Amino acid sequence: MIHLPLAHLLSEPVGVSHYVMVGAVLFTCGVLCMATKRNALGVLMGIELVLNGANLNFIAFGSHVLRNDVNSLGLDGQLMAMFVIVLAAAEAAVLLAIALNFYNNHNSIDVDRADELLG
């Protein structure tokens, strides 16, 4: 009988490899969304998917399963994810301000028309 790696992942209890797989899928979906969307908000959604995929991997690699140090709190992955979430919120606020200003000037938020912003 042939054992496929995906079938093996589906039959075992949830572990770090499952979280890494979901994080990789989120990251890939985000990259595809950033590459294919013409709308600035679509690109922003792709960036958020990429950051969430990275956050999931930070949490998975910071889990107690991979930790060998008994004296550690094991919050390294969670702290990195919190830092990324704060940066994503700041990035979203700045991009929203830029998108609103661009829409006020051009009545569109098409990414292709943003070449007029070159100083």
Query: pTM for the whole thing?
Result: 0.70
Compute the half-sphere exposure of residue 43: CA atoms within 13 Å on the CB side of its CA.
Answer: 12
Dump pLDDT digits (tens) for 76-90: 778 888 888 898 889
**Domains of the chain, residue spans:** 5-117
- What does the angle CA 105 – CA 108 – CA 110 come to, to the nearest 5 degrees? 120
Cα–Cα distances in angstroms (integers) from residue 39 to residues 15, 53, 73, 110, in the given order: 37, 21, 42, 5
For 33-49, what is each residue's pLDDT tens digit?
A: 999 987 777 888 899 89
What's 5-117's CATH class?
A: mainly alpha
